[in-house]
Amino acid sequence: MEQKELLRISLIISLIGIFLLLFLAKNLELKQINIRNINNNLLNQKVKIHGTILRIIDKETFKIFSVADGTGKIDVLCECKNNSITPNQDIVITGTVQDYKKNFQISADKIIRLNK
Amino acid sequence: MIEILFLILAFFLGILAGTFTGLFPGIHINLVAFLLLGSAALLTGFSPIILVTFIVAMSITHTFLDFIPSIFLGAPDEDSVLSILPGHEFLIKGKGYEAIILTAFGSLAAIAIVLLLTPLFIFTLPTIYPYIQNIMPFVLLIASFFLIYFEKKSKSWAIIIFLLAGFLGIASLNLNLKEPLLPMLTGLFGASSLITSIMKKQTLPEQKIETIRNIKKELKNTSLFRALGASLIASPLCSFIPALGSGQAAVIGSEVTGDLDRKEFLILLGSINTIVMGLSFVTLYAIGKGRTGSAVAVGKLISNLTFTNLITILVVIVLAGIIAFFLTIFLAKFASKNITRIKYNKLSIGILILLSVLVLIFSGFLGFLVFVVSASLGLVCIFTGVRRIHLMACLLVPTILLYLL
């Protein structure tokens, strides 16, 4: 096969593949997990949890939500300026599992309030 | 006393692990460092400095040995990727051994450079880093601009490949893959080179094994200094700026010092690889940021490195470097004697299958899709003849966006 032909085939596969991967990255839904199941295997992975806010610590540039779901409790870090989130609210959080001083925490990308 | 024995044991096990990760295509030290962190719960009986010794010894050894698969098999990782072209030229002339020895010269000299730059990093980095951090996306944008500007073959293809690799990086890093870099980098750099080798039905001539003295004698007097000067300029930047790795440092360094010949470029690559790794531990001490997977792993084991920890790390770097230099000579000699006994084409097919299986195991089917797309983009780069360093936009673009958004 000519090099030009091979270049064209590789370019087409790359273009279609990159669009497909971008589409999947945008649309693949994360499976919801219980807080109890967060372990070392999920470190630096994105997870989705559903729980209730127990308390909120307001730091200067970020907030820490203590969230429980009946199986466990975890701190969720959020660089959010929005003050509409209050204790006892049900929320769904999508974020990355991190290790902070040998405890797991979630750095939130998205928080959805389920009750107002 | 027992702790010292464990420290020595960890050091030698680290060298063994670094030999394995260096020689085995597709197994990156980051993977081993993070597997070690993942199993840290099982190792709680050990002092963190023992695990740190293991990681540092492994990482330094890896930077010496990873040129062997890169040059002999065309299966590099992201740090040794630029060695493929000059290295392969040496290999098909029967001088693969010489190419590896030149990178080992560079790596050994790099150990001295790391020691030289350490005080400078400790005293200046904490002061200048906050300013650099504020302008980081612009530094990365300028670095990207220069990489494209210096492209000699085709600037338009360089821009297209840079953008496609950027989108590939954004998609892959947002797919929630376990080990997303493994399929992406293995596909872009490893699989694409192997596929071209297979297509060309490459055969290798008998490899000449020159004495170290002869290899040194054939070098111009200024070669070592020119190569090390270039790495001295470029590698400190890449030790604390995210997403700029050894490859980019090599391009920047060689452009700044003027055209280096093939031998000088190989020395430069060897030195930069080791300097970036060594200084990343010093950076961790100076500003608390790890710029290599190994430094991040060390930072997780010891959150605040003390000066004594740093001295231990530097001693490990020096000793591991010296041992790794002789290991590289021994293994390069072994590889040179035996590479022609195996059918190179079959070997390439075997490695490609092995890489595919590793990707499937560590990153799943979605990871395999990333691997296939990355390999195709790697092939586009090879067929157009533009520098493969543009493919590193897969890390540069997501990092720039992270700072800007």
pLDDT, tens digit, for every residue of B71-112?
Answer: 887 655 555 555 556 777 788 788 889 999 999 999 999 999
End-to-end Cα spacing for chain A: 63
Q: Which of B170, B303, B376 sits opposite A13 (nearest CB)?
A: B376
Are B281 and B298 spatial neighbours (Cβ–Cβ below 8 Å)?
A: yes
| B397 within 8 A of B165, measured Cβ to Cβ | yes
CATH class of A35-113: mainly beta
Query: Quick one: how far is CA B22 from the chain centroid?
Result: 10
Which pLDDT score is estimated for B159? 94
Number of residue pairs across A and B with CB atoms under 8 Å?
71
What are B7's two structure tokens?
């420290």
CB of B209 within 8 Å of a chain A CB? The answer is no
Interface test with A, best of B377, B386, B391 (most A CBs within 10 A): B377
Are residues B33 and B297 in contact, defined by beta-carbon separation less than 8 angstroms? yes
Res. A10: pLDDT tops 90: yes
Of B41, B172, B384, the CB nearest to A21: B172
CA-nearest residue to B378 within chain A is A10
Sequence-separated (6 or more) residues with CB below 8 Å from residue B199: A6
State whether B369 and A40 contact (CB < 8 Å): no
Taking contacts as CB-CB distances below 8 angstroms, the residues of chain B near A26 are 174
Whether residues B373 and A13 touch (CB distance < 8 A) is answered with yes
Residue in A75, A15, A43 with CA at minimum distance from that of residue B380: A15
A32/B contact by beta carbon, under 8 A:
no
3-class DSSP state of A66: strand
Based on its alpha-carbon atoms, the radius of gyration of chain A, rounded to whole angstroms, reads 20
CB contact (8 A) between residue A21 and residue B379: no
Among B37, B303, B376, beta carbon nearest to A17: B376
Minimal Cα–Cα distance from A64 to chain B, Å? 21
Cα nearest neighbour of B188 on chain A: A14
| Min distance B162 CA to chain A CA atoms (Å) | 13
Q: Which two tokens stand for residue B337?
A: 């004697």
pLDDT along chain B (405 residues), means of 10: 86 92 70 62 73 92 88 62 66 87 92 93 88 81 84 89 95 83 83 82 78 81 78 74 68 69 84 89 88 80 88 96 96 88 81 87 90 95 86 86 79
SS3 A90: strand
Helix (H), strand (E) at residue B81: none
Where helices occur in A28-116 by DSSP H, the ranges are none
Say whether A7 sits in a helix, a strand or coil: helix
Q: Which tokens hold the place of B129?
A: 């880093």
Q: How far is A10 from chain B (nearest CA, A)?
A: 5
A101 or B278, higher pLDDT = B278
Q: Which string of b and e fits A97-110 if b means at least 16 CB within 10 Å? A: beeeeeebbbbbee
pLDDT on residue B105: 92
Question: The tokens 């699989």 sit on which residue?
Answer: B191
Query: CA-to-CA distance for B358 and B360, rounded, in angstroms?
Result: 5
State pLDDT tens for residues B335-385: 888 887 877 778 788 888 988 998 898 888 999 999 999 999 999 998 898
Contacting residues of A for B300, CB less than 8 Å apart: 99
Chain B segment 272-301 residues within 8 A of A by beta carbon are: 300
